[in-house]
């Protein structure tokens, strides 16, 4: 063969775990001779595509990084003082490298398995504590998607709270951020909430009003006193939500002290770059009496089996997994990694540091305001924190200000009435101040220097709403202010958490695959990280080329015509997709089409999203094989024929099977005038093999944080783009501040026009590096890995569902129900015992109660799959010991799992099994032990004694229940 001069590195070989020899051996174990033969056995011929993916040739990692640098150069590095909820910030390098760029943090899964998640749970508890403290409220959740949707969640919660007492009107102050108003209005319409936008000072609470939203400080910088407004609301039995800037609350009186019932906002400026819109963590705080109505996840304090303090996700019964259509929200993936960063920013700076930062920002704003006044301009508001609204003086025009700003590569905010907005931030230095003074200085302006003015001004904030309540009083915010201390704290927490750096996380439906380092490196590039979402699009050419290319790739992969990248999560995509369907029906005059059919096996977010979209959910049964029951579907479609809006269907099914009759399912819906929505969480089994559009689907969402390798980050960020057939494209979501979406666009479903734009780079890079062949091979190997594990385990366990030819798709369900019935050994016991072996449990009790759903993904090697199977074999022997009567279920190593180092090294040992069996049950564990740091966590205790912020410091050290309870009560 001649010497090859091209393509030395094939990324697919790094991404896909099994080698060619492994693939051959695994196929052999399945009795097949090629990957294509496997596809023949698993994917129905009727739906397989005959059109291979048409994508650009695969790039090596190095070539990809060079390409990214070229795109970065297409973004203009203008300085933005636009504000509107997005500010430049300084990410402490120790947080950037040790959290954002650290796979031990970003490859974590959502902390459902609390015993091996104590690190991120503590980081999130810190976040909640920071939020409750700064807002002056009692409880907070562990993040929402962005400020706009958090405000919408507040509106929805207050609507639920007020139901029966008040009417359906919600007031929004006109000086809220425009994108917030648009998102809340969009969310209000489907649930028949009537929104009134106006001036809070002129608003009267009548009995039809259930709540209101105001912004603090207002979008144009004004610090208004809303105490009387809150009083008026409460007198009318209504509630007030406040969208607040968290940094301003360090200096301004906490909304909780002047009457706010809910406070929401963004934590972006706590060290998380703007990223052209996201991802950032929004926060949500409220009164304790609403604790069961709070949307999203909350972290709570509980105890483990030995009485030690242990953290967990609290009040899970409010969520969609249990309550489905009646859940408090459809939030599943949120913004965990970003919340961890923001919380850690507060831990690092502490109360004094934050005060210094906030004061500095405010002083510079005052200085700028003074300079502008001297230059003949007028400030619209006397009381402000960091944002000025400037009425341009007679000696200059707004157009001239704008020209001068643009000549200096500076973005300001230009209001329709000719006034100009300037928002300062942590990164505004003397140079920047002088540039701003020059911009507004005009030709005959005196030569003012920030340095000269500084000497003449009093320090600090002394407005009428100065904060009197203390800030961040918990000791956790005073313990890690040196880099050495913080680095150790970050690594101490990370070491408590099992992530992909330890072993496979075989979570069915969640697709925990490799998150390629080369795909993640671009998000640290300041040319992408520091772009303001409302900067003019022509300054973000690099971004727009990536957005366009990624949209094109996703359209090619799904077979659809158009894509919206706006939704910030899969569930947000579901909601957007259903609104698109609804808009389509309305455009056809079919307003009455509101029935949404959802199979009983659907993910809980499906019914929750349909309810949010104002649809009537009708459940469709599944047959004995886990397939959508075609008879029941047909009957229900017929029954609701006139009112049928949509079917939501997951494919391959949530039971891990490619249903043969999917085309018939789509046909039935279309016959009755409905649209087919596909939940694309299982796209990892389809890419390159079949296309949703070719199957007969009309719209689907994808989870870029599953199939397209954006890391899970411990439960977020995510991106849930929707892809539509041409007839639905005109309705794709728009945005008040950007040219995006269809011609008859539905309102925005996220605060930023392109959602979490920064992390789109990851999926774009992933697709570019794999190329058409690599992507298709990844799909086939994902199916192979699942079938190989299913085959090995089937000798010792039952598999709940298989396809007609006896194979599974890319995931499968292990049946443990009979162990529980016969032996009192549950799926929980197996999940917890897996921790002792160094593995994360598969998806537990979903979609079938009492089972485990395994999804290995293509990235796991045969060696790792074998280790995992060996662990489950060994656990099967342990179950057998109970079956044989050798040990009682209660005393078994399964029920007692997981085991901590402290437990197995304690002098006293009374268990009927050895310490060695407890802690080192396998060769893998002996060679590479991962220690859970708490014993089994008590869920009920935590929900009974709900504590959602950092408890007194004594609780951390408590080693029995009595001490812990006393500390929690204190
Ligand atoms: C993950 C998942 C969702 C929800 O996606 P999020 O990004 O968590 O909102 C919906 N449906 C299925 C089947 C899923 O697996």
Are the beta carbons of 90 and 480 closer than 8 angstroms?
Answer: no
Q: Determine, yes or no, domain membership for 886.
A: yes
Ligand 1, atom 5, residue with closest C-alpha: 570
Instruction: Examine the domain organization and report whether 736 and 856 are in the same domain.
Output: no
C-alpha 369 chain-centroid distance:
38
Same domain, 728 and 828: no
**Residues 752, 830 within the same domain:** no
Closest CA to 685 of 777, 822, 783, 604: 783
From residue 297, alpha-carbon distances to 293, 300, 471, 494, 623 in Å are 11, 10, 24, 20, 33
| 700 alpha carbon – ligand 1 mean position (Å) | 12
Q: Is the pLDDT of residue 641 over 80?
A: yes
**pLDDT given for residue 671 in this prediction:** 98
User: Within this chain, do residues 728 and 829 fall inside the same structural domain, yes or no?
Assistant: no
Q: What is the pLDDT of residues 791-816, one digit of tens each?
A: 999 999 999 998 888 999 999 999 99
Looking at 769, 787, 802, the residue that finishes a domain is 769
Task: Tell which atom from ligand 1 comes closest to the C-alpha of 574.
Answer: 10
Average pLDDT over residues 422-439: 96
Residue 728 placed within a domain: yes
Cα dihedral angle (146, 147, 149, 153), rounded to 10 degrees?
Answer: 120
Q: Answer whether 110 contacts ligand 1 (Cβ < 6 A).
A: no
Res 445 pLDDT > 80: no
Residue nearest to atom 14 of ligand 1 (CA): 681
Q: Is the CB of 571 under 6 A from ligand 1?
A: yes
Q: Domain range holding 667?
A: 524-769
DSSP sequence for 781-805: HHHHHHHHHHHHHTTTSEES---TT
In the predicted model, what is the mean pLDDT of residues 97-102? 98
For 847, the token pair is 């979609």
Chain segment 651-687, per-residue pLDDT in tens: 999 988 899 999 999 999 999 999 999 999 999 999 9
Q: Which residue has the higher pLDDT, 321 or 958?
A: 958
Number of neighbouring beta carbons within 10 Å of residue 261? 26
Q: How many domains does the chain have?
A: 2
Kindly compute the dihedral angle of the four CA atoms of residues 207, 213, 215, 219, in this order, to the nearest 10 degrees: -100
Q: What digits encode the pLDDT tens for the residues 568-627?
A: 999 999 999 999 999 999 999 999 999 999 999 999 999 999 999 999 999 999 988 878
Query: Is 540 part of a structural domain of the chain?
Result: yes
Q: Is the CB of 605 under 6 A from ligand 1?
A: yes
Q: b/e string for 167-195 if b means 16 or more Cβ within 10 A?
A: ebbbbbbebbbbbbbbbbbbbbbbeebeb
Please indicate, yes or no, whether residues 765 and 891 belong to a single structural domain of this protein: no
128-to-269, 463, 472 alpha-carbon distances in Å:
16, 28, 11
Report d(CA 329, CA 324) in Å as an integer: 9
Percent of the chain whose pLDDT exceeds 90? 92
577 lines ligand 1 (CB under 6 A): no
The Cα–Cα gap between 471 and 54 comes to 56
Model pLDDT, residue 8: 64
Residues paired with 140 in a beta bridge: 285
**pLDDT average, residue stretch 406-412:** 97
What is the token pair recorded at 452? 């000269």
User: Would 254 be classed as within a structural domain?
Assistant: no
**Can you give the pLDDT at residue 474?**
97
The token duo for 803 is: 């396809």
Domain annotation covers residue 568: yes
Tell me the C-alpha to C-alpha distance, in Å, between residue 760 and each of 150, 563, 681, 711: 22, 13, 17, 12
405, two tokens: 């700003």
Cβ of 650 less than 6 Å from ligand 1: yes
Residue 65 pLDDT exceeds 80:
yes
Coil, strand or helix: which one is 284? Answer: strand
Whether 533 and 610 map to the same domain: the answer is: yes
Residue 720 Cβ inside 6 Å of ligand 1? The answer reads yes
> How far apart (Å, rounded) are the C-alpha atoms in residues 330 and 436?
43
Tell whether 738 is covered by a domain: yes
605 and 538 share one domain:
yes
Distance between CA atoms of residues 716 and 266, nearest Å: 15
Integer Cα distance of 707 and 111 in angstroms: 20
Q: What is the CATH number of the domain that holds 758?
A: 3.40.640.10
Share of the chain above pLDDT 70, in %: 99
Preceding peptide of 898 cis, ω within 30°: yes
721 within ligand 1 shell (Cβ under 6 A): no
Name 647's bridge partners. 597, 676
Q: CA 794 from chain center: how many Å?
A: 35
Is ligand 1 within 6 A of the CB of residue 716? no
Q: Could you tell me if 249 and 233 are in contact, meaning their C-beta atoms sit under 8 angstroms apart?
A: no
pLDDT digits (tens, 9 = 90+) for 516-570: 999 999 999 999 999 999 999 999 999 999 999 999 999 999 999 999 999 999 9
> What CATH code is carried by the domain that includes residue 916?
3.90.1150
The string of pLDDT tens digits covering residues 585-599 is 999 999 999 999 999
For residue 650, which atom of ligand 1 is closest to its CA? 13
What is the structure's pLDDT at 760? 98
Residue whose CA lies nearest to ligand 1 atom number 6 = 570
| Any atom of ligand 1 within 6 Å of the Cβ of 684 | no
Distance 370 CA to ligand 1 centre (A): 51
Cα 883 to middle of ligand 1, angstroms:
37
Q: Which atom of ligand 1 is nearest to the CA of 679?
A: 11
Nearest partner of 517 among 732, 218, 765, judged by Cα: 765
Which pLDDT score, from 0 to 100, does residue 444 have?
53
608 Cβ closer than 6 Å to some ligand 1 atom: no
Please tell me if the CB atom of residue 715 comes closer than 6 angstroms to any atom of ligand 1: no
Per-residue pLDDT, 634: 97
For β-strands 378-379 and 139-140, DSSP reports them as unpaired
Place of tokens 């099992």: 498
Q: Is 300 in the pocket of ligand 1 (CB under 6 A)?
A: no
Distance of CA 330 from the midpoint of ligand 1 (Å): 10
Same domain, 759 and 831: no
Residue 703 CB less than 6 A away from ligand 1: yes
Q: Which of the listed residues 297, 329, 505, 605 should we mutate to test ligand 1's pocket, taking the one with most ligand atoms within 8 A of CB?
A: 605
Determine whether the shortest distance from the Cβ of 509 to ligand 1 is under 6 A.
yes
Measured by CA distance, the residue closest to atom 15 of ligand 1 is 509
| Cβ of residue 330 lying under 6 Å from some atom of ligand 1 | no
- 468 half-sphere exposure, CB direction, 13 A CA radius: 5
Residues in Cβ contact with 502 at an 8 Å cutoff, skipping those fewer than 6 apart:
838, 928, 930
Q: What is the pLDDT of residue 325?
A: 85
Same domain assignment for residues 736 and 885 = no
Q: What is the pLDDT of residue 447?
A: 77
What pLDDT, on the 0 to 100 scale, is given for residue 945? 87
The per-residue DSSP string of 510-535 comes to: T------HHHHGGGG-HHHHT--TTS
Q: Is the CB of 719 under 6 A from ligand 1?
A: no
CB of residue 75 inside a 6 A radius of ligand 1: no
Same domain? 719 vs 851: no
Q: Are residues 750 and 858 in the same domain?
A: no
Could you tell which of 703, 810, 842 is best to mutate to test the pocket of ligand 1, judged by most ligand atoms within 8 Å of the CB? 703
Phi–psi pair at 957, nearest 5 degrees = -100, -5
Q: Over the chain, what is the mean pLDDT?
A: 96
In 3D, which of 106, 782, 752 has the Cα closest to residue 509?
A: 782
Which of these, 304, 726, 672, 718, lies nearest to 511 by C-alpha position? Answer: 718
Cis bond upstream, residue 412 (ω within 30): no
Looking from the CA of residue 571, the nearest atom of ligand 1 is: 9
Q: Which residue has the tokens 């199957």?
A: 695
Selected residue with higher pLDDT from 328 and 583:
583
Whole-angstrom CA distances from 247 to 253, 266, 424, 482 are: 12, 10, 12, 21
Q: Is 681 in the pocket of ligand 1 (CB under 6 A)?
A: yes
Q: Looking at the domain assignment, is residue 74 inside a domain?
A: no
CA-derived radius of gyration, the chain: 28
Distance 605 CA to ligand 1 centre (A): 7
Give, for ligand 1, the residue of 110, 571, 855 to mutate: max count of ligand atoms closer than 8 Å to Cβ: 571
pLDDT single digits (tens) 848-878: 999 999 999 999 999 999 999 999 999 999 9
DSSP letter at 56? Answer: P
For residue 636, give both structure tokens: 């229900």
* Ligand 1 atom having least distance to the Cα of 605: 10
Residue 73, pLDDT > 80, answer yes
Tell me the pLDDT band of 442, cut-offs 50, 70 and 90: confident
Instruction: Please indicate whether residue 200, judged by its CB atom, sits closer than 6 Å to ligand 1.
Output: no
Strands ordered across the beta sheet of 812-815: 798-799, 812-815, 851-854, 843-844
User: HSE-up of 129 (CA within 13 Å, CB side)?
Assistant: 28
Centre of ligand 1 from the C-alpha of residue 609, in Å: 11
The best mutation among 111, 145, 679, 843 to test binding of ligand 1, ranked by most ligand atoms within 8 Å of the C-beta, falls on 679
- The alpha carbon of 681 and the centre of ligand 1 are apart by a number of angstroms equal to 6
DSSP state of 294: -
Same domain, 751 and 871: no
**Is residue 462 a contact partner of residue 363, using CB atoms and an 8 Å limit?**
no
For residue 40, being part of any structural domain is answered with: no
The residue to mutate among 110, 112, 568, 603, having the most atoms of ligand 1 within 8 angstroms of its beta carbon, is 603
* DSSP 8-state symbol, 191: G
Ligand 1: atom nearest CA of 333 is 8
Q: Of 423, 466, 461, whose CA–CA distance to 252 is shortest? A: 466
pLDDT at 375: 93
Residue 7 has pLDDT above 60, yes or no: no
Nearest protein CA to atom 2 of ligand 1, as residue? 681
Ligand 1 centre to CA of 571 (Å) is 6
pTM comes to 0.98
């Amino acid at each position: 063969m001649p010497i090859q001069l091209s393509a030395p590195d094939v990324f697919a070989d790094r991404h896909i775990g099994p080698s060619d020899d492994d693939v051959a051996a695994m196929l052999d174990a399945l009795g097949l001779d090629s990957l294509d033969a496997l596809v023949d056995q698993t994917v129905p011929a009727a739906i397989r595509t005959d059109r291979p993916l048409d994508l650009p040739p695969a790039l090596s990692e190095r070539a990809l990084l060079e390409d990214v640098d070229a795109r970065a150069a297409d973004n203009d590095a203008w300085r933005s003082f636009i504000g509107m909820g997005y500010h430049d910030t300084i990410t402490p390098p120790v947080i950037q490298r040790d959290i954002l760029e650290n796979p031990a943090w970003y490859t974590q899964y959502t902390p459902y398995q609390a015993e091996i998640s104590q690190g991120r749970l503590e980081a999130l508890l810190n976040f909640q504590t920071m939020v409750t403290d700064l807002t002056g409220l009692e409880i907070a959740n562990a993040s929402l998607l962005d400020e706009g949707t958090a405000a919408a969640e507040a509106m929805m919660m207050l609507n639920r709270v007020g139901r029966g007492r008040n009417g359906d009107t919600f007031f929004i102050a006109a000086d809220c951020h425009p994108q917030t108003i648009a998102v809340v209005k969009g969310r209000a319409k489907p649930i028949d909430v009537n929104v009134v936008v106006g001036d809070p000072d002129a608003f009267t609470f009548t009995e039809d009003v259930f709540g209101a939203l105001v912004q603090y400080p207002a979008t144009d910088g004004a610090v208004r006193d809303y105490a009387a407004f809150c009083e008026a609301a409460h007198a009318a039995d209504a509630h007030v939500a406040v969208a607040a800037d968290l940094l301003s609350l360090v200096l301004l009186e906490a909304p909780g002290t002047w009457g706010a019932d809910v406070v929401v906002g963004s934590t972006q400026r706590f060290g998380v770059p703007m990223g052209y819109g996201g991802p950032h963590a929004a926060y949500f705080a409220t009164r304790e009496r609403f604790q069961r109505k709070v949307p999203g996840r909350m972290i709570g304090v509980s105890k483990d089996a030995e009485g030690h303090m242990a953290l967990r996700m609290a009040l899970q019964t409010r969520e969609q997994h249990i309550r489905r259509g009646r859940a408090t929200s459809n939030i599943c993936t949120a913004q965990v990694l970003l919340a961890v960063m923001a919380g850690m920013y507060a831990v690092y700076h502490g109360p004094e540091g934050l005060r210094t930062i906030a004061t500095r920002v405010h002083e510079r704003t005052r200085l700028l305001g003074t300079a502008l006044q001297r230059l003949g301009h007028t400030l619209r508001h006397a009381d402000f924190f960091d944002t000025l609204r400037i009425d341009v003086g007679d000696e200059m025009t707004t157009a001239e200000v704008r020209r001068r700003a643009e000549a200096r590569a500076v973005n300001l905010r230009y209001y329709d009435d000719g006034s100009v907005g300037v928002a300062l931030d942590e990164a505004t230095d003397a140079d920047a101040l002088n540039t701003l003074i020059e911009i507004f200085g005009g030709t005959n302006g005196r030569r003012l220097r920030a340095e000269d003015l500084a000497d003449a001004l009093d320090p600090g904030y002394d407005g009428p709403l100065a904060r009197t309540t203390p800030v961040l009083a918990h000791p956790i915010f005073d313990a890690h202010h040196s880099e050495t201390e913080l680095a150790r704290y970050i690594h101490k927490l990370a070491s408590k958490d099992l992530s992909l750096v330890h072993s496979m996380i075989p979570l069915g439906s969640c697709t925990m695959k490799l998150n390629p380092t080369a795909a993640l490196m671009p998000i640290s590039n300041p040319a992408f990280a520091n772009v303001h979402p409302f900067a003019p699009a022509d300054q973000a050419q690099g971004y727009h080329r990536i957005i366009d290319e990624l949209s094109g790739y996703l359209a090619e992969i799904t077979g659809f015509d158009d894509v919206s990248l706006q939704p910030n999560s899969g569930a947000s995509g579901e909601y957007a997709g259903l609104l698109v369907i609804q808009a389509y029906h309305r455009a056809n005059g079919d307003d009455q089409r509101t029935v949404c059919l959802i199979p009983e096996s659907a993910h809980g977010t499906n019914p929750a999203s349909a309810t949010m979209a104002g649809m009537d959910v009708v459940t469709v049964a599944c047959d004995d094989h886990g397939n959508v029951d075609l008879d029941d579907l047909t009957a229900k479609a017929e029954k609701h024929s006139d009112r049928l809006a949509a079917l939501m269907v997951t494919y391959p099914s949530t039971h891990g099977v490619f249903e043969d009759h999917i085309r018939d399912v789509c046909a039935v819906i279309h016959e009755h005038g409905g649209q087919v929505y596909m939940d694309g969480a299982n796209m990892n089994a389809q890419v390159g093999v079949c296309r949703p559009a070719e199957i007969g689907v009309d719209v689907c969402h994808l989870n870029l944080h599953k199939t397209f390798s954006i890391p899970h980050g411990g439960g977020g960020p995510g991106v849930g783009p929707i892809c539509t057939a041409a007839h639905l494209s005109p309705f794709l979501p728009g945005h008040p501040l950007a040219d995006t979406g269809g011609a008859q666009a539905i309102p925005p479903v996220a605060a930023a026009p392109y959602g979490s734009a920064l992390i789109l780079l990851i999926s774009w890079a992933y697709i570019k590096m794999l190329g058409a062949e690599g992507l298709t091979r990844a799909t086939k190997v994902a199916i192979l890995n699942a079938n190989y594990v299913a085959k090995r385990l089937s000798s010792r366990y039952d598999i709940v569902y298989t396809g007609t030819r006896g194979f599974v798709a890319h995931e499968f369900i292990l049946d443990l129900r009979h162990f529980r019935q016969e032996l009192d050994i549950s799926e929980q016991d197996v999940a917890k015992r897996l921790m002792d072996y160094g593995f994360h449990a598969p998806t537990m009790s979903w979609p079938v109660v009492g089972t485990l759903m395994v999804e290995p993904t293509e990235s796991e090697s045969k060696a790792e799959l074998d280790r995992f199977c060996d662990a489950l074999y060994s656990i099967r022997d342990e179950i057998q010991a109970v079956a044989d009567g050798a040990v009682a279920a209660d005393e078994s190593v399964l029920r007692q799992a997981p085991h901590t180092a402290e437990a197995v090294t304690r002098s006293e040992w009374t268990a009927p099994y050895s310490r060695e069996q407890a802690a080192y049950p396998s060769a893998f564990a002996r060679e590479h032990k991962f220690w859970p740091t708490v014993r089994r966590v008590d869920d009920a205790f935590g929900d009974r004694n709900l504590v959602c912020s950092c408890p007194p410091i004594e609780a951390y050290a408590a080693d029995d229940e009595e001490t812990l309870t006393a500390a929690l009560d204190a």
